[in-house]
Amino acid sequence: MLNRELGLIEFNRRVLAQAEDPRLPLLERLKFLCIVSSNLDEFFEVRIAWLKEAALHTPDRILPDGTTPIQALKQVSDAARELIREQYAVMRDNLFPALREESIVFLRRNEWDESQQLWVRDFFFRELMPILTPIGLDPSHPFPKVLNKSLNFAVELDGRDAFGRESGIAIVQAPRILPRVIRMPPELCAGHRHTFVFLSSILHSHMHELFLGMTVKGCYQFRVTRDSELNVEDEDLKNLRTALQGELRQRQFGNAVRLEIADTCPQHMEDFLLTQFNLDPRDVYRVDGPVNLVRLMQVPDLVDRPDLKFAPFIPTLPVSLEKKAGLFEAVSDGDILLHHPYQSFQPVIDLLNLAATDPQVVAIKMTVYRTGTDSVLMESLIAAARAGKQVTVVLELMARFDEEANISWATRLEDAGAHVVYGVYGYKVHAKMLMVVRREEHGLRRYVHLGTGNYHPRTARMYTDFGLLTCNEDIASDVNDIFVQLTGLGRASKLKLLFQSPFSLHSMIMSAIEREIDNATQGKPAQIIAKMNALLEPQVIHALYRASQAGVKIQLIVRGVCALRPGVEGLSENITVRSIVGRFLEHPRVFYFYNNREENLFFASADWMGRNFFRRIETCVPVLDVKIKKRLIREGLRIYLEDNVNAWDMQSDGSYRRRTSRAKEKCAQVMLMEEYTR
């Protein structure tokens, strides 16, 4: 098996390639550069933090790829350092020159003319000086607590201050409320349409104003990344929400795992900072530019250049919804498959809006993993609860980096009268389920939505996902049983159609693979096609190896990290793995098993990872409708196997090669946008 962390580095290398691709609009390329930085921040906060803990406490442990944590940490740190070097080279040598050609300029300090210098000085005294708090280090002023991922400056000083204190070091923290990129007024753009300066440049040029009478010998930006995993102990745990709120306050000050510094920072200052954060030299990442490229994400919104951005795409509605007068009537007539973002997420929003206001609706049940700080869906649930409907929300408090937003929603929902539960302690609720119970002529009827993506309207415009609207009684019964599990107590019941983690999903996948092995052994055609975000679970990987050896044709579409080695003679020569990285983030999980022409098809909320199979509550839905099955096979799988624009083929050593072809270009995402537009 391949190393998980190295696989994540490889994924971000593919994202960085988007920033270099001249076929993409320039400002979109800048966004991809920022996405790499955002991904790497989380990578260090979670994966590197985990490796460092393992290296400290279980150094002799053998990881799935055969290395120890210490060995893996060195390999991964070296790979991350090389990726970061490439990222800054792309920014400096590729994107910034191309942006300058389009009259979008990031001016360095030595490029400011006299009028620009005067404007910067005025901006500093007017907007920055009143907010900044320099901290001179001495016995009365110890090294300050530095927030996770905040911008800071280490300043070397010479001379004596008003109290007779001699030269030393001061720390200046840039409050997060300050923008990191500042746009100059049009009249000062010196012939350019858009001129920007970095906050760090302004602070560098005026740092001496904070230390009157002292000489600034050096000023060096730095940024520290901290372990951001939350550790809620189960001993004496009475209220998960209360315990989690306490942990959230400490997240900003977890153990340091990475120190980013300017490449001009002298060695003695690096050593000083390493000591303060209890880090080793291997934890230092020197950068030639701003230490936080994520903040460049605001630039496309500040630049009115539609020609440098993706053309707007307007999602469509299913024909069945356009023909029917009402959503409930349309779903009653037959299952409806939604393919986001090509089709609108609005039907899901409408379902909750209708449920909140329809007097015939008596109950709503929903799982929430990520929904954002501003959600029309949550507002509908609150309105429904206030209207006296039975509203039950299984809200996952431990959704990483969304904990605070989810705690806020939990409070508001409870205040409105909704029943809010946090699932089962120790198992994250990752399933995407919504059920509306409506009193109709022949009794109660349940309307269900099941999906592969979060109930998050914004990401539904950026992520590809599938959702199913259905009145199927067996599916509705299964969904209701799962809700009963999550809110009450009792044994897991046998479901009629759905498969569920942590009970039946893993065994179903293993059985489906074994069935293909049996068919191949008997000389029958055997095939597996699966699309997911990550493939890491060892038992599944070894089952796929056995299937390959038996002659099963296996085509995997894995967007992110994959620990399976494809194309190894005698082991996996019948397995191909490809990754699609494009305008939209590929997010659905779709599994196809040929099964002697029966063609079993499923979509799920779960990747093929240990956590999804054994430590989360997930759902997997068999696709029964013939038309929907045909459509999902094509739109979710086949069309991506034809892609020769955004496809990367995985090699047996874990590296990737971009798919090229002299034939006509086929981009799955573009083809789907064109088809749905027509």
The residue-averaged pLDDT of 224-244 equals 68
Report whether pLDDT(650) > 70: yes
pLDDT score for 236: 43
pLDDT score for 663: 81
pLDDT score for 22: 95
From CA 222, how far away is CA 337, in angstroms rounded? 49
Report whether pLDDT(310) > 70: yes
User: Which strands form 104-106's sheet, in the order they lie side by side?
Assistant: 104-106, 194-198, 181-183
From CA 432, how far away is CA 672, in angstroms rounded? 24
Q: Which of 433, 436, 347, 443 lies closest to 617, judged by CA?
A: 433
The residue-averaged pLDDT of 419-439 equals 92
Q: What does the block give as tokens for 113?
A: 């003319």
- Determine which of 140-144, 597-601, 624-628 has the lowest per-residue pLDDT on average: 140-144
pLDDT score for 235: 46
* Cα pseudo-dihedral 620, 621, 623, 628, rounded to 10: -100
The residue-averaged pLDDT of 526-531 equals 98
Q: What does the block give as tokens for 20?
A: 């270099």
pLDDT, tens digit, 9 for 90 and up, residues 501-518: 999 999 999 999 999 999
Tell me what percent of the residues of the chain surpass a pLDDT of 70. 96
Q: Where in the chain is the domain with CATH 1.20.58.310?
A: 1-102
Which helix or strand (DSSP H or E) is residue 87 part of? helix 69-90
- Model confidence band, residue 115 (pLDDT cutoffs 50, 70, 90): very high
Q: Which of 264, 174, 259 lies closest to 218, judged by CA?
A: 264
pLDDT score for 245: 63
pLDDT, tens digit, 9 for 90 and up, residues 312-357: 999 999 988 887 778 999 999 999 999 999 999 999 999 999 999 9
pLDDT score for 267: 96
| Amino acid, res. 611 | R
pLDDT score for 239: 62
The residue-averaged pLDDT of 233-248 equals 58
To the query of whether residue 430 is one of the catalytic residues in this protein, the response is yes
Instruction: Report the b/e string of 104-125 with b at 16+ CB within 10 A.
Output: bbbbeeeebeeebeebbeebbe
Global pTM exceeds 0.75: yes
Evaluate whether 228 touches 236 at the Cβ level (below 8 Å): no
- Domain 111-294 falls in which CATH fold? polyphosphate kinase like (3.30.1840)
Evaluate whether 659 touches 649 at the Cβ level (below 8 Å): yes
Look up tokens 């996902």; give the residue.
465
Q: Where in the chain is the domain with CATH 3.30.870.10?
A: 319-493, 501-677
Q: What does the block give as tokens for 409?
A: 């929603």
Q: What does the block give as tokens for 38?
A: 């955002």
Q: Based on DSSP, count helices (H) and strands (E) in the chain, helices before strands.
A: 22, 27
Q: Which of 315, 670, 668, 257 lies closest to 460, judged by CA?
A: 315
Inter-axis angle of helices 376-386 and 403-416, nearest 10: 20
Q: Where in the chain is the domain with CATH 3.30.1840.10?
A: 111-294
Instruction: Report the b/e string of 368-382 with b at 16+ CB within 10 A.
Output: bbbbbeebebbbbbb
Chain mean pLDDT for the chain: 93
Say how far residue 48 (Cα) sits from the centre of its chain: 17
pLDDT, tens digit, 9 for 90 and up, residues 259-288: 999 999 999 999 999 999 999 999 999 999
Report whether pLDDT(571) > 90: yes
- Determine which of 80-84, 188-192, 644-648 has the lowest per-residue pLDDT on average: 188-192
The residue-averaged pLDDT of 153-173 equals 84
Which of the residues 206, 430, 456, 587 is marked catalytic?
430
| Amino acid, res. 248 | L
Main-chain dihedrals φ then ψ at residue 68, nearest 5 degrees: -90, 165
| Superfamily of 319-493 according to CATH | Endonuclease Chain A (3.30.870.10)
pLDDT score for 191: 78
The residue-averaged pLDDT of 358-373 equals 94
- Domain 1-102 falls in which CATH fold? Methane Monooxygenase Hydroxylase; Chain G, domain 1 (1.20.58)
| Architecture of the domain spanning 501-677 | 2-Layer Sandwich (3.30)
From CA 379, how far away is CA 388, in angstroms rounded? 15
3-state secondary structure 172-195: EEECCCCCCEEECCHHHCCCCCEE
